Chains A and B, each alone.
Chain A
Amino acid sequence: MADIKIGAYICKGCGLQDRLDISQLEMTATRDGKAVFAKTHDMLCSQEGVDMIKADLQGGDDAAANRVMIAACSRRAKVEAFAFGNTPTIRANLREGVIWVRPDEDEHKETTQEMADDYIRMGCAEAKAQEPAEASAEQQLDKHILVVGGGYTGLTAAIEAEAAGYPVTIVEKAAQLGGMTAQLYKKIPSCSPYADPQDTGIDAMIKSVEDNANITVHLNSTLTRTSGAPGRFAADISTESGSTTTENFGAIVQASGQKLYDPSGLSQYAYSGNADVITNLEMEALAKAADGGPIKRPSDGKEVKSVAFVQNVGQCSDEEDQLSYHSGWGDVVAIKQAMYFKDLNGSDCDTTIMFDNLRTPGAGGEDFYRSGQRKGITFTKADITEVIAGNELEVKFKDQILDNDTSMQCDLVVLDVGTLPNSGPDPYAPAAEEDEVVVNVDSILNLDYRQGTDLPHLKHGFTDSHFICFPYETRRTGIYAAGPVRRPMDLAQARDDAAGAAMKAIQEAENAGKGMAAHPRVGDLSFPSFRKEGCTQCKRCTVECPFGAINEDEEGYPVYNESRCRRCGTCMGACPVRVISFKNYSVETVGQQIKNVDVPDEFDEKPRILVLACENDAYPALDMAAMNGTEITPWARVIPVRCLGSISLSWVTDSMNNGYDGVVLMGCRRDDDYQCHFVKGSAMAAERMSKVGDTLSTLNLEPERVVIHEVAITDIQRAPQLINDMAETVDKIGMSPFKF
């Protein structure tokens, strides 16, 4: 290993030269930061500036520098310009971090310069503590994609992945492909003019899959064991008859689909025991059975002359045992099925849709609704009181527009029931109460993971990670959920979803092959490793990893499945003996930055506030605040962290011991509607920090000196305010007594 040679590069552009004493910064870099040289440039991000840095990195072990410390703008700016391959590159944020957040007045010049000097010291210290990240070389490229589920979503994912050049294996539980879509008579139109129901096209899809040599289909099969990690998944595919084959895969798409809500328990709809009260899925079978002729009702085969569609059955409800959410497609499906009657039974057939809130989402939703009106479907905003069975059914309802209780007679009632995901058991489900009836759900993936057999649920049993920022991502790396198992959706959405998940699976198979991280630190080559001799086998890392990436060996030591790892560092923050580290991110890389800040003595009356800010939300929020010119106290020193979950308690105690006056931790929202990019990191940090008050009391320090905040990327005004609040707190309670 060659000696560490830090090259410090200080930019003079963007007003830095006017505001800061550049020659002093150079001196700080070489004298305090121990950089082998410090160079300046009028505009470092220009081709000329970048070429200057690149030239210094040439020559292998004889190169002028093997670490780059760039003192210029935020690490979030000029990312492409300052990319030097594997060379550790540190960015001291003098623009967004210093000159843009401090007023340009003579009285502030001194503290502004001190801020900049500190960021240079911190940058050099971090550069020194980092090692170049390299892939472990244990990785392999496996282009084989496993698709679990052979319905519309699974077939689409398979076709898309295969078209991109990746061989696919489909595992389908049923005896044939097509899933629920194969049971449909027609589908909601997916292209202009959105006027009439369309053929589902499922037969053609099944045929193209069956005819494709690169797509293997296993029917009547389930996964009895899935082990490994992205790039090297091994799945046992077992048939109903008991034979098992094991195959390897690079990534997995789970498209296990949906099941529909059973309305038997809702007596007001008279569903049980009445052949003429049917669900929306049974309606499809009825239309299929009509075979192009008029639709006949199930009880006596009478041609249907009037039909009522009762919307929101057992969904969108506050009642127990009903679904609190809406399927999204229920009303469009009712319009589609009412058109079946208009088309097959004649325009004289009365079709009434009794809705509460008519939802017709999607590009063609409104057009389709209009087409339904044009065809003479009656839409009634109604509160259904009850359905009375009989030869002629009676639907009693309250008309919500005319505000009267009324009823209608009809031959057939179709219930719009909602959707439930076909998810496996939730690894993080709370333990059942003693008297609680537990319904056992079959596992779908049978993952051989430390943390459960299936994908964790987000809400209502849907397997998503976070639906706003990261569609398809689940909390298990390399396994992507698509279709109605992820959230309620119709075919048009499922098609896009399947394509998206297939692309994600391909990306992950490729990244895993190169030893790179998946979303959100895409391309990161570092991975966690631990010093075995220091490990106490406490298992905290294996339990707390939000992605279930860490298994345990027989002796209880952690086994890092690095391609399952998202590089958030939550394990690092969990480790009580600090033996877990990444090459380019460790207790040391941040700890050294904290230690290298110049802490003036008590009589200078210059407090120091350490800010550890999540790189995903809080740090960009601070950058944006800087662009707006929002002031930040000159006492603050901000260090971006991968996730609040990676924060080691030692950083907080060390900074206190070093004489810092306050610590502000900024992570993402951590409740049920969490925004943490690593799911649990922020929540973990909050829990770990809940005991920091005790630590402070033992040091005779006020607990107010350490605060943890939830900061969103949109908190542009609030984020700097929180830092300034700490400055005020310090002003109130006084400086830390721990200064040298």
Chain B
Amino acid sequence: MTELNAAMVERYRSNFLKEVEANVEEGEWVKMCMQCGVCAGSCPLGNAWEHTPQKIFMMVRAGEREAVLNSDAMWMCTSCYNCIARCPRGLPITHIMHGLAHYAKRMGLAPKEQPTAKFAQLFWDNLVKKGRVNELKLGISLYFMNGFSEGIKTSLKMKDIGLGMLKTKRMSPMEMLGGHGVKDSAGFQKMLKKAQELEDKRISGSTD
């Protein structure tokens, strides 16, 4: 358990709903869910999830903190927005799910082996280096996400596409050597640092 996670458990005791309302993006909407299940029925990936949004919201209200934050549900969301379009109560369901995913990550409780969670981390790590996404590196790190031999296999499978992209100048091999970035790299890093500070203050700072 991370230090922050322990602090949050201590602060909200058994009231997970209040914790979500205070810390999760759009979390104050969770209490307005009327459990009709339209979101669960509308989700194209509904069958593949551990919990549907309806169930996640009920679990939040029932105080099932660990189960919610460990769930793979919010990581499976493809942001198709079907649930938002259909929710009779007008809940921003997609945003709440992403908010929960983000919060789970902050608490260090996000599922470790969840592919989309892993990819999200790769994307972030790639992005923060230069302020621009290095697609070549990101692609390669995605191929090798699950180990070296699987990475070779995937690379061979994708080689024709890769060569085609090289030919049509959609991909530059030069990107391997550092690649492009934002003009003011130091400024960019400074900005990230400040944002992180603000975010830390928002989540843990209010009681300090």
Contacts and interface: CB of A to CB of B under 8 A. Distances in A.
Interface in B79-108: 89
Interface of A: 358, 369-370, 373-374, 376, 378-381, 399, 401-402, 406
B89 to A, nearest CB: 8
- Identify which of A374, A381, A401 gathers the most chain B CB atoms within 10 Å of its CB: A401
B59 A374 contact: no
B118 interface: no
B35 A401 contact: yes
A379 B62 contact: no
A317 B201 CA distance: 53
B57 to A, nearest CB: 9
Nearest to A360: B34
A373 B62 contact: no
Interface of B: 17, 31-32, 34-35, 54-55, 58-59, 61-62, 64, 89
A45 to B, nearest CB: 50
Given A401-B54, A402-B55, A374 B62 contact: no
Contacts of A406: 62
Contacts, number: 30
A370 B32 contact: yes
A373 B35 contact: no
Nearest to A352: B61
Contacts of A380: 61-62
A142 B45 CA distance: 72
A167 B95 CA distance: 63
Contacts of B55: 401-402
A379 B35 contact: yes
A378 B61 contact: yes
A270 B67 CA distance: 33
Contacts of A399: 58, 62
B35 to A, nearest CB: 6
8 contacts: A378-B17, A379-B34, A381-B35, A399-B58, A401-B35, A402-B58, A402-B59, A402-B62
B34 A373 contact: yes
Nearest to B32: A373
Contacts of B34: 358, 369, 373, 379
A376 B58 contact: no
Q: Lowest 6 CB-CB distances: which A-B pairs, in order?
A: A401-B58, A373-B32, A373-B31, A378-B61, A402-B58, A401-B35
Nearest to A406: B62
Nearest to B18: A376
A374 B30 CA distance: 10
A675 B32 CA distance: 43
Given A374-B31, A380-B62, 17 more contacts: A358-B34, A370-B32, A373-B31, A373-B32, A373-B34, A374-B32, A376-B31, A378-B17, A378-B31, A378-B61, A381-B35, A399-B58, A399-B62, A401-B35, A401-B58, A402-B58, A402-B59
Nearest to A350: B15
A369 B88 CA distance: 14
Contacts of B35: 379, 381, 401
A403 to B, nearest CB: 9
Contacts of B32: 370, 373-374
Nearest to B54: A401
B182 to A, nearest CB: 43
A379 B32 CA distance: 10
A358 B34 CA distance: 10
A402 B61 CA distance: 11
B32 to A, nearest CB: 5
A564 B54 CA distance: 58
Contacts of A373: 31-32, 34
Nearest to A358: B34
Nearest to A370: B32
Nearest to B89: A370
A370 B36 CA distance: 14
A369 B31 CA distance: 12
Nearest to B88: A366
A574 B146 CA distance: 91
Contacts of B59: 402
Nearest to A372: B31
Contacts of B54: 401
Contacts of B58: 399, 401-402
Contacts of A376: 31
A374 B34 CA distance: 12
A551 B89 CA distance: 60
A358 B35 CA distance: 11
A145 to B, nearest CB: 44
A366 to B, nearest CB: 9
A291 B2 CA distance: 47
A399 B62 CA distance: 9
A188 B121 CA distance: 51
Most buried by B among A369, A373, A374: A373
Contacts of B31: 373-374, 376, 378
Nearest to A401: B58
Nearest to A375: B31
B80 to A, nearest CB: 24
Nearest to A369: B34
Residue among B32, B54, B61 with the highest chain A CB neighbour number at 10 A: B61
A350 to B, nearest CB: 8
B27 to A, nearest CB: 13
A117 B95 CA distance: 77
Query: Most chain-B Cβ atoms within 10 A of its Cβ — which of A369, A370, A374, A402?
Result: A402
Contacts of B64: 402
B140 to A, nearest CB: 42
B93 to A, nearest CB: 15
A582 to B, nearest CB: 56
Contacts of A369: 34
A381 B54 CA distance: 13
A374 B17 CA distance: 13
A369 B34 CA distance: 9
A406 B59 CA distance: 12
A376 B61 CA distance: 10
Contacts of B17: 378
Interface centre among A369, A374, A379 (most CB of B within 10 A): A379
Contacts of B61: 378, 380
A325 B85 CA distance: 36
A406 B64 CA distance: 12
B180 to A, nearest CB: 49
Contacts of B62: 380, 399, 402, 406
A285 B89 CA distance: 34
A457 to B, nearest CB: 37
A339 to B, nearest CB: 14
A382 to B, nearest CB: 10
A588 B83 CA distance: 70
B107 to A, nearest CB: 21
A373 B33 CA distance: 8
Contacts of A401: 35, 54-55, 58
B105 to A, nearest CB: 24
Nearest to A377: B31
B11 to A, nearest CB: 15
A353 B134 CA distance: 53
A422 B35 CA distance: 37
A378 B32 CA distance: 10
Contacts of A381: 35
A535 B59 CA distance: 77
Contacts of B89: 370
A440 B61 CA distance: 48
Nearest to B33: A373
Contacts of A378: 17, 31, 61
A402 B57 CA distance: 10
A381 B64 CA distance: 16
A456 B62 CA distance: 48
B67 to A, nearest CB: 9
Contacts of A374: 31-32
A396 to B, nearest CB: 14
A406 B89 CA distance: 28
B92 to A, nearest CB: 15
B60 to A, nearest CB: 11
